[in-house]
């Protein structure tokens, strides 16, 4: 999150970054014990994680409907949400201003390799000569690297996010409530997701089934956010996350290659600014970071 704040400052306070923290509460003894353990673990690592009263939570988010029996609400003050498409556009514009040539919608068909060095990217009708390459192809990682003889166990996890019309009271923060998580969306509505309405449930659902999943999310959101009583679904989006087999980010030099690096992570929005900075230091300045030691691709080559 510190890397996000730094990047937002560097980009001149662009509005893609929405701070204010996040709120979470749990129902049931087991879930509450899990939540307490999480808050303790994060606070122990120096992250701003604490419990606040239900009343204070409602003071922060007046549109919420935290049930009366909930006494503790976790508050993560440094959490934020990001308008990722906007940030990507801003970054591309900033890169172009610094002389980068941005080529959109150009598929890289393969990499031309000689003696452990990537010499060029093969595209339709030609090649792009490269001194160094960073492969960030998300869920396509495994298929993209296989022809190079590199086996990276990166799976594909489907997800569905539903977007609603504008609620009576705007939601400022990210909220993790039992059965649903929600935040404000750029259009003024709410963006909804649910951990149990995810992955294979979404992957194997028909178009009608996916619409039904979105409707279920809305139903749950109305329960925890009474201000959303009258909202309707505007759309739902299905996306695919890249998921390393050990569920940890993969970032670093591709085994067997002198000048090729990769990043594959299911937390690319959260970790993007940090990973980008660390990999840029490594590729451009030859300064690998010890922070990345547990996340190197060669853990799968051993
Ligand atoms: C439902 C859902 C919820 C999510 N929630 C979170 C979250 O809460 N927090 C978080 O941090 N992240 C979240 N993510 C983000 C996600 O999990 C990834 O971390 C993120 O998308 C990775 O970014 P990326 O740029 O590496 O890959 P992608 O976003 O997948 O982008 C890869 C790009 O590479 C392009 N590409 C692929 N093959 C080629 C080729 N051969 N040539 C040229 N281009 C190619 C693709 O077209 C695509 O544009 C979520 C994603 C989904 C779908």
* pLDDT tens digit sequence for 264-292: 999 999 999 999 999 999 999 999 999 99
Nearest CA to ligand 1 atom 46: 137
Q: Band of the pLDDT at 13, cuts 50, 70, 90?
A: confident
> What would the two tokens of residue 226 be?
């009474």
- Ligand 1 nearest-atom number relative to CA 193: 1
| Complex confidence, ipTM | 0.98
Q: What is the pLDDT of residue 212?
A: 98
15 has pLDDT over 80:
no
Q: Which tens digits make up the pLDDT trace of 120-129?
A: 999 999 999 9
Domains in the chain (CATH in brackets) are: 106-153+246-300 (3.50.50.60)
What is the rounded average pLDDT for all residues in the chain?
96
CA distance 257 to 301: 13
DSSP, collapsed to helix, strand or coil, labels residue 249 as coil
137 lines ligand 1 (CB under 6 A): yes
- Give the pLDDT confidence of 47-68 residue by residue, as tens digits: 999 999 999 999 999 999 999 9
The residue whose C-alpha atom lies closest to atom 31 belonging to ligand 1 is: 138
Q: What is the pLDDT of residues 129-162, one digit of tens each?
A: 999 999 999 999 999 999 999 999 999 999 999 9
- Euclidean distance between CA atoms 25 and 225, whole angstroms: 13
Which one-letter DSSP state was computed for residue 146? G
**Separation of CA 69 and ligand 1 centre (Å):** 39
Please, which residues have CB within 8 angstroms of residue 79's CB and are 6 or more apart in sequence? 1, 21, 22, 173, 174
| Bridge partners, residue 72, by sequence | 53
Is 140 touching ligand 1 by the criterion CB < 6 Å?
yes
pLDDT for the residue 302: 64
* CA 295 – ligand 1 centroid, Å: 18
| pLDDT tens per residue, range 225-274 | 999 999 999 999 999 999 999 999 999 999 999 999 999 999 999 999 99
Confidence of residue 165 (pLDDT cuts 50, 70, 90): very high
Q: Which ranges constitute the DSSP H helices of 146-267?
A: 200-203, 207-224
The protein residue with its alpha carbon nearest to ligand 1, atom 41, reads 108
Q: What is the DSSP letter of 298?
A: G
Question: Tens of pLDDT along 86-111?
Answer: 999 999 999 999 999 999 999 999 99
Predicted local confidence at residue 295, as pLDDT: 98
Structure tokens at 105: 């919608």
Query: pLDDT tens digit string along 168-186?
Result: 999 999 999 999 999 999 9
Is residue 73 within 8 Å of residue 66, measured between CB atoms?
A: yes
Question: Ligand 1 centroid to 162 CA: how many Å?
Answer: 18
How much is the pLDDT for 12? 85
Ligand 1 pocket test, pick from 89, 110, 266, 279 with the greatest ligand atom count within 8 Å of Cβ, gives 266
Confidence of residue 219 (pLDDT cuts 50, 70, 90): very high
Protein residue whose Cα sits closest to atom 51 of ligand 1: 241
**Pocket flag, ligand 1, residue 199 (CB < 6 Å):** no
Q: What is the pLDDT of residue 136?
A: 97
| pLDDT on residue 205 | 98
Note the pLDDT of residue 301: 83
CA nearest to 49, candidates 76, 81, 78: 76
Mutation choice for ligand 1 from 85, 137, 161, 162, CB with most ligand atoms inside 8 A:
137
């Amino acid at each position: 999150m510190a890397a996000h704040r730094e990047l937002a400052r560097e980009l001149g306070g662009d509005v893609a970054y929405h701070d204010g923290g996040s709120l979470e509460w749990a129902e049931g003894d087991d879930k509450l014990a899990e939540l307490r353990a999480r808050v303790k673990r994060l606070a122990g690592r120096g992250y701003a994680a604490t419990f606040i009263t239900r009343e204070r939570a409602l003071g922060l988010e007046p549109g919420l409907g935290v049930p009366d029996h909930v006494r503790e609400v976790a508050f993560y003050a440094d959490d934020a949400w990001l308008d990722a498409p906007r940030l990507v556009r801003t970054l591309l514009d900033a890169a172009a201003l610094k002389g980068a040539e941005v080529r959109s919608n150009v598929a890289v068909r393969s990499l031309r390799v000689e003696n452990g060095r990537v010499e060029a990217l093969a595209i339709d009708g030609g090649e792009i000569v490269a001194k160094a390459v960073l492969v960030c192809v998300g869920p396509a990682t495994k298929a993209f690297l296989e022809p190079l003889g590199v086996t990276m166990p990166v799976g594909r996890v489907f997800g569905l996010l539903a977007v609603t019309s504008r609620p009576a009271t705007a939601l400022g923060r990210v909220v993790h409530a039992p059965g649903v998580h929600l935040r404000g969306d750029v259009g003024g509505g709410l963006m909804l997701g649910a951990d149990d309405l995810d992955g294979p449930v979404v992957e194997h659902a028909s178009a009608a089934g996916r619409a039904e999943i979105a409707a279920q999310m809305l139903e749950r959101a109305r329960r925890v956010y009474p201000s959303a009583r009258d909202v309707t679904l505007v759309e739902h989006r299905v996306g695919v996350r890249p998921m390393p087999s050990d569920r940890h980010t993969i970032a670093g030099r591709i085994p067997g290659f002198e000048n090729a690096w990769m990043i594959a992570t299911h937390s690319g929005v959260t970790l993007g600014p940090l990973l980008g900075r660390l990999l840029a230091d490594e590729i451009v300045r030859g300064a690998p970071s010890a922070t990345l030691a547990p996340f190197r691709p060669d853990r799968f080559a051993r």
